[in-house]
Amino acid sequence: MKIGRSIKRALIKRAIKRTLARRVLRPIPIIGTGAVLALALGTIRRKGGVKGTADVVLDLIPIVGITKSVIEAFRGDFIPDKKSSARLR
């Protein structure tokens, strides 16, 4: 019954892969949220109070933040930085 053993092994391997994938992928939203919160103050300073807060809130919403990041990678910022009063050299 070699066929039966190979089917069992395949099922066990698939279950292990699924379990490992869940364990690896589960903390990713937490890591992303931590990164957004760590960079929030700089974003708010760079974009201004209301616009910066809106940008951070959009990034914190799981599906919206991922979609926004992907689109911004190709298109640029949805919410532009505020104009700086300092001269650029």
**pLDDT, position 86:** 57
Q: pLDDT for 3-20, tens place per residue?
A: 677 888 888 888 888 877
Residue 74 structure tokens: 């190709």
pLDDT at 40 over 90: yes
Q: pLDDT for 41-61, tens place per residue?
A: 999 999 999 999 999 999 999
For the chain, the maximum distance between any two Cα atoms, rounded to a whole number of angstroms, is 79
Residue 36 structure tokens: 């957004």
CA-closest candidate to residue 53, choices 62, 61, 45: 45
**pLDDT, position 28:** 77
Phi/psi for 83 (5° steps) reads -70, 130
Domain-by-domain residue ranges, the chain? 2-75
